[in-house]
Amino acid sequence: NAGVMQNPRHLVRRRGQEARLRCSPMKGHSHVYWYRQLPEEGLKFMVYLQKENIIDESGMPKERFSAEFPKEGPSILRIQQVVRGDSAAYFCASSPGTGSYNEQFFGPGTRLTVL
């Protein structure tokens, strides 16, 4: 059973370009979470999605960032007009969404570097 998959693993963008980060949850998981980890810091929650729905986007910056989890295909975190401060590791996690406790399984992350 494949784990959470993220691609690309490394992404380099110049200031002003767009970054698209993809996340395929574990098989059978319908809940996806995105977190950002700045150098030497812990993970910060960004957004929580279920298929075709954004459940909680309280951690998303108000501008330039968007996320989706379509009925078919991976979840996408999109960053428009990237700036140097967007350089970070972006982790996706998935959970089954049922039961009394939902462990979040993390992917390997996408490391975004903005030049």
Partner 1 sequence: QKEVEQDPGPLSVPEGAIVSLNCTYSNSAFQYFMWYRQYSRKGPELLMYTYSSGNKEDGRFTAQVDKSSKYISLFIRDSQPSDSATYLCAMNPRAAGNKLTFGGGTRVLVKP
Sole binder of partner 1 in the list 24, 75, 94, 95 (CB under 8 A): 95
- Alpha-carbon distances, residue 10 vs 22, 26, 69, 91, 96 (angstroms): 12, 21, 21, 12, 27
Q: If you ran DSSP here, which 8-state letter would residue 59 be given? A: T
Where does this chain touch partner 1 (CB under 8 A) — which range of 14-22, 67-75, 78-86, 90-98? 90-98
Say how many Å lie between the first and final Cα of the chain, rounded: 37
How many residues sit in the footprint of partner 1 (CB under 8 A)?
31
**18 lines the binding site for partner 1 (CB under 8 A):** no
**24 lines the binding site for partner 1 (CB under 8 A):** no
Q: Which is nearer to partner 1, 85 or 99 (CB)?
A: 99
- For 46, residues 6+ apart whose C-beta sits below 8 A from its C-beta are 33, 34, 35, 36, 57, 59, 60, 65, 67, 77
In angstroms, give the least distance from the CB of 3 to partner 1: 9
Q: If you ran DSSP here, which 8-state letter would residue 28 be given? A: T
Binding site for partner 1 (CB under 8 A): 4, 31, 33, 35, 40-45, 48, 55-56, 58-59, 91, 95, 97-109, 111
